Structures are given as structure tokens and as C-alpha cells.
């Protein structure tokens, strides 16, 4: 496994791989790796001749009052984990390499980046789109792998790749969870013992929403969201940022559920903001409206 720290070296390597007609799979990460990240890397390793992972905590996707400085960093631990699977190259640039003095370009992804998480994290998705665009030009992958865990991010990235004409296939991989359903996240280490127990409420609320739609056949999104909110509010230390039911393609809010939807939530557990989602295909041909 090679560790590359400069853009110039990374581009030269990728160019050589492409010249040999080999495929490149790419997994961008911010490090503090866990099984969720590893599942993407295993898939990239299986499906490509070369698998490249980037580790870069991207400053431009953090707001001024967010956790950029505290964000967990563990490059030694990360490299150990990577050595146990098929990863050929780790791209590990520093901030100056990615954003040299005077850097001022950014990608504006538009309104899809201003709803859900974007409503409270202003500019976050433009920061994500900017770094992913840069990384794609540096790594030049054929296939790029992202987790469904960050569902809005997958929609943003698909839009970026399509609208800026990157010749890259975006592959979305399932969310990897702890035994009790909590979605794995680098931020889970912020949770104390009590908060860790309380954090399972995200998955429980999503399963409730999924059950109301897929098993009970309910279609009234407001009713379903309220049931989920009641469950979340019944637990300790949780504070809802949003509970939304949206279309899977453009993240438009749904009132009557008629086709597959994404149930998306963001909840603060203590000071830690966690997100999760479930996509449900429902039982639409038989769906009945909720009657009070």
C-alpha cells in the first residue's frame, strides 16, 4: 500500500494506471475509519484493478461553529486497518496541498444542498461538492463509492458528477450498523455511555416509520413523521433537528406517499448531531390513507 501526499504524485500514478487500461475504484473519507468505511473499500477492491482511498478532513465543509478541530483523526490506526484489506493507494494530502493560499473556487450545488442537513449546515454541501470535484480530478477514478448513511450527500454527488460531466460511476453502498442498529459513524466516539444508549432511538424511529409505510400501508407523511417524533422525544437527551420523508431522487418533501421514499432524520444526542435514513419501497398498489 502506497501513501501519497501530493496532488502531482497522485495524478501521475493514476495516469499510469489508466494508461495500462486498468480500472480505478475510489473511496473518499475523512478518516477515523470504521466498518462502514471498510465496506466501501472492500467493494472498491473487489470491483476494480486498483483501489484508492483518500483521507482528508475537508475544512470547507465545516461551519465556523462545527467540529472541524475536534473531528477524530487517527492516521496510524487508519493505516493499520487499511493494511488488512485490498487498498493499493492512500491519498493523504494536508490542508495546504488541497487549499493553497489564495484558493477561492467553489462548486455551488444549488437548492438540494440547502434542505435537510443543509438547512442547519449552511454551505456544507457546497464544501462537499468542491472537495469531491477536486478529488475526482486528482484520483481520476472509474468508479467512486459512497455510503447510503449520508443519503443527501449521495444525491448531491450524483448531481455533481452528472452536471459537471465527470466520467465516473457513482456506487452507493448500504449503511453498516452496530448490533443495536446505530449507524456507524466517526462521530459516535463523542457519545458518553448514556448518550450511546439513547442514540439507538434514531434507528428505532426509522424502523417505526418504515413499518407504518411498508407494513401498515399508511401514506400520510405528516402522521408518520409525528409518530416518529413522539418516539424520539420520549427518550432522554435527544433533540430533533429534522424528521423528513422525501423523494429519493430530488429530496422533495412528500405529503402523500405514493412511490419509494427516503425517511431521513437528524437528531442531537447531547451535543453530538447524528443522521440516519431508510429507503422504503412501501406497498403502494395497496396503500390506504390514514383515517383518524
Check: CB of residue 97 under 8 Å from CB of residue 6.
Answer: yes
**C-alpha–C-alpha distance, residues 265 and 278, integer Å:** 9
Check: CB of residue 248 under 8 Å from CB of residue 233.
Answer: no
Stretch touching ligand AMP by CB under 6 A, among 30-38, 101-109, 216-224, 239-247: 30-38
Q: Among 14, 175, 188, 272, which residue sits at the site for ligand AMP (rule: CB under 6 A)?
A: 175
39 forms part of the interface with ligand AMP (CB under 6 A):
yes
36 forms part of the interface with ligand AMP (CB under 6 A):
yes
40 vs 191, beta carbon nearer ligand AMP: 40
The counts of H helices and E strands in the chain are 10, 9
Strands (E), 232-271: 238-247, 261-269
**C-alpha–C-alpha distance, residues 269 and 263, integer Å:** 19
Check: CB of residue 40 under 8 Å from CB of residue 157.
Answer: no
159 vs 225, beta carbon nearer ligand AMP: 159
Catalytic residues: 37
Q: Among 43, 121, 149, 225, which residue sits at the site for ligand AMP (rule: CB under 6 A)?
A: 149
Question: If you ran DSSP here, which 8-state letter would residue 112 be given?
Answer: G
184 forms part of the interface with ligand AMP (CB under 6 A):
yes
Q: Going edge to edge, which strands form the sheet with 2-4? A: 2-4, 89-91, 50-55, 24-29, 143-147, 169-173
**C-alpha–C-alpha distance, residues 136 and 24, integer Å:** 11
Stretch touching ligand AMP by CB under 6 A, among 144-152, 194-202, 235-243, 248-256: 144-152
CA distances from 106 to 124, 132, 218 (A): 11, 11, 42
38 vs 224, beta carbon nearer ligand AMP: 38
Stretch touching ligand AMP by CB under 6 A, among 2-10, 63-71, 145-153, 267-275: 145-153
30 forms part of the interface with ligand AMP (CB under 6 A):
yes
87 forms part of the interface with ligand AMP (CB under 6 A):
no
147 forms part of the interface with ligand AMP (CB under 6 A):
yes
Q: Among 176, 206, 261, 263, which residue sits at the site for ligand AMP (rule: CB under 6 A)?
A: 176
195 forms part of the interface with ligand AMP (CB under 6 A):
no
Least distance CB 211 / ligand AMP (angstroms): 22
**C-alpha–C-alpha distance, residues 33 and 67, integer Å:** 17
Cα-Cα end-to-end distance for the chain: 60
10 vs 40, beta carbon nearer ligand AMP: 40
30 vs 75, beta carbon nearer ligand AMP: 30
Least distance CB 203 / ligand AMP (angstroms): 11
Query: Which residues form the interface with ligand AMP (CB under 6 A)?
Result: 29-30, 36-37, 39-40, 146-147, 149-150, 173, 175-176, 183-186
Amino acid at each position: 500500500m502506497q501513501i501519497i501526499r501530493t496532488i502531482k504524485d497522485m495524478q501521475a500514478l493514476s495516469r499510469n494506471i489508466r494508461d495500462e487500461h486498468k480500472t480505478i475504484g475510489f473511496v473518499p473519507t475523512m478518516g477515523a475509519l470504521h466498518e462502514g468505511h471498510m465496506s466501501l473499500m472492500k467493494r472498491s477492491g473487489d470491483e476494480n484493478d486498483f483501489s484508492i482511498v483518500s483521507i482528508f478532513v475537508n475544512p470547507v465543509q465545516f461551519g465556523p461553529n462545527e467540529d472541524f478541530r475536534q473531528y477524530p483523526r487517527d492516521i496510524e490506526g487508519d493505516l493499520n486497518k487499511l493494511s488488512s484489506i485490498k487498498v493499493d493507494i492512500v491519498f493523504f494530502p494536508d490542508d495546504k496541498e488541497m487549499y493553497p493560499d489564495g484558493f477561492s473556487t467553489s462548486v455551488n450545488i444549488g437548492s438540494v444542498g440547502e434542505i435537510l442537513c443543509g438547512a442547519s449546515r449552511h454551505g456544507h454541501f457546497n464544501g462537499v461538492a468542491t472537495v469531491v470535484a477536486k478529488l475526482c480530478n486528482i484520483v481520476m477514478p472509474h468508479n467512486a463509492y459512497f455510503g447510503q448513511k449520508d443519503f443527501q450527500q449521495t444525491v448531491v454527488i450524483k448531481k455533481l458528477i452528472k452536471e459537471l460531466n465527470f466520467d465516473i460511476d457513482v456506487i452507493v453502498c448500504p449503511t453498516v450498523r452496530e448490533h443495536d442498529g446505530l449507524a456507524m459513524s466517526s462521530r459516535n466516539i463523542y457519545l458518553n455511555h448514556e448518550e450511546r444508549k439513547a442514540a439507538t432511538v434514531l434507528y428505532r424511529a426509522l424502523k417505526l416509520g418504515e413499518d407504518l409505510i411498508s407494513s401498515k400501508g399508511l401514506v400520510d407523511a405528516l402522521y408518520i413523521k409525528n409518530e416518529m417524533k413522539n418516539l424520539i422525544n420520549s427518550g432522554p437527551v435527544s433533540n430533533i433537528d429534522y424528521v423528513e420523508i422525501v423523494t429519493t431522487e430530488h429530496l422533495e418533501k412528500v405529503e402523500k406517499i405514493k412511490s419509494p421514499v427516503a425517511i431521513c432524520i437528524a437528531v442531537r444526542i447531547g451535543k453530538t448531531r447524528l443522521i440516519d435514513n431508510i429507503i422504503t419501497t412501501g406497498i403502494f398498489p395497496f396503500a390506504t390513507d390514514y383515517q383518524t
